[in-house]
Amino acid sequence: MSEAARNAELARLWRSAAFVLSAARLPDLPRGGREVAFAGRSNAGKSSALNALTGQNSLARTSKTPGRTQLINLFTLGEVGHLADLPGYGFAAAPKAIKVQWVNLIERYFGHRDELAAVVLIVDIRRGLGELDQQLLNWVTPRFLPVHVLLTKADKLSRNAAKQALFQIERELKAQNPLYTAQLFSATAKQGVDEARARISDLLRGEVAAS
């Protein structure tokens, strides 16, 4: 299959994404199948990335108040599996009780969700990997799961600056685990959408090795 044909096929698959449910607790999530989780700091562009990947402007709600999402939102991706949109983390204005709730939910999810096949970590390219991003990677490490980092808002940097940021973050990731990969992404400019669709689809199917 040519690259153009594969991209068109993947676009159709991702456009078929549909909301399943929202869960405040791990037991509320359905069992069975494979699942890729989307995680990242509040305001890193996670909802925008999901909307760009699915070609649906309102599949994942974007908010001018970062940190508002407190639930795990689950979407189906055809017959391939599920996408789990995890609550954003690190928003300074969130009440302390909410922050604790987020941490507990996310830590339990990464530790005990058997369906979890891989993680897509959303990172604002201008900020790089932060302390909370690293904490998330620490939770994932015992599971030996692949992690793919989308360096969002790549259009905000010059081409050279974006490449340098990608090189630096890839080096940091590979030092931790060869299954960790990264790419440039921009929901606004639709940069990296085809690449991300292909990578995440392969992760759901279990067809990705270290690269």
DSSP string, 59-91: SS---SSTT---SEEEEEETTTEEEEEPPPB--
Q: Is 49 in contact with 150 (CB distance < 8 Å)?
A: yes
Residue 90 confidence (pLDDT):
73
Please state the domain extents for the chain: 3-205
CATH code linked to domain 3-205? 3.40.50.300
Q: Is 120 in contact with 154 (CB distance < 8 Å)?
A: no
Q: Please give the average per-residue pLDDT across 80-109, as a whole number.
A: 82
| Tens digits of residue pLDDT in 144-157 | 999 999 999 999 99
Q: Taking the model in full, what pTM does it have?
A: 0.92
